[in-house]
A and B are shown apart, each in its own frame.
Chain A
Amino acid sequence: MHSLDSYLFISSMLFCLGVFGVMTRRNAIAVLMGVELILNAANINFVAFSKFNGMNLDGHIFGLFVIVLAAAEAAVALAIIINIYNNLNSINVDDAAELRQ
């Protein structure tokens, strides 16, 4: 039906939008949303290659692991963001540029 290229095209579009978000956003939560877009793009690639490689389910397992890692990453990132907010009263990533107490 659809070729592999159309899926790769969609996922590269999603990836570039995510990279754009990570580069231009300054709110830490918006940066996190960009990272989620990038992870989803990678996951589409995993599942697409799995289908077009004779329904090899290894790609699905990788996709599953990526989703679990994204959940862990979001939990830790939001905890860090809330701490930054409590300390600096802002979640602009440019404000959090100091490595001292």
Chain B
Amino acid sequence: MAELVFWFVAAITIISAGFVVLNNQLIYSAVALLFTLFGVAGIYVFLWADFIAGIQILVYVGGILVLVIFGIMLTNKIKSVRISHKSMQQGVGGAVALWLFIFLSIALSKAPWAVSEAIEPSGTVREIGILLLTDYLLPFEIISLLLLGALIGAAVLSRGDA
């Protein structure tokens, strides 16, 4: 049963990612991206990463996807939702991507990964919190400064000459 659900989630992720890069309507691509992000959150759940899955939904679906849709609406003279945009050189791009995929699959199936088993934890939030305030305190502070700088920069950039 869990096996079936896993491959179902994986199929949703990959198929909707295909829609994101192949669909000709920009809004449809954004909606397909929603399903991809939810699918990735599902994969995180299978990897016992409950906290990361929650953050994925909060930040990606609630933040980044809304930003992307705002971007689509602000940069098109909207008359309908069918904002088309063309792709170019899909043949060459597809060949390169396919070659890259074959190369990666061969490489990762031949690599001798050092796998060690673990028991399923009851939750990761507590351990992640402890790590963030001990071992990773400095990166945590730096990344919060970076986020602050990026958001102020984005606000200044998009305000124009007021």
Q: Chain B CB within 10 Å — which of A16, A32, A47 has the most?
A: A16
Name the B residues within 8 Å of A7 (CB-CB): 43, 47
- In Å, the complex CA distance between A88 and B1 comes to 53
Tell whether, in the assembled complex, residue B67 and residue A24 are in contact, meaning their CB atoms are under 8 Å apart: no
A48 to chain B, nearest CB (A): 6
Chain A residues whose C-beta falls within 8 Å of the C-beta of B3 in the assembled complex: 1-2
Query: Chain A: which residue is nearest B49 at the CB level?
Result: A47
Contact (Cβ within 8 A) A75 B154: yes
Contact surface of B with A, Cβ cutoff 8 Å: 2-3, 6, 10, 13-14, 17-18, 20-21, 26, 29-30, 33, 36-37, 40, 43-44, 46-49, 51-52, 55-56, 59-60, 63-64, 67-68, 70-72, 74-75, 85-90, 92-94, 96-98, 100-101, 104-105, 108-109, 113-119, 121, 124, 127-128, 131-132, 136, 139, 143, 146-147, 150-151, 153-155, 157-158, 160
Given A15-B104, A16-B101, A48-B47; 6 other pairs, CB 8 A cutoff: A18-B17, A24-B90, A44-B44, A55-B119, A68-B147, A74-B63
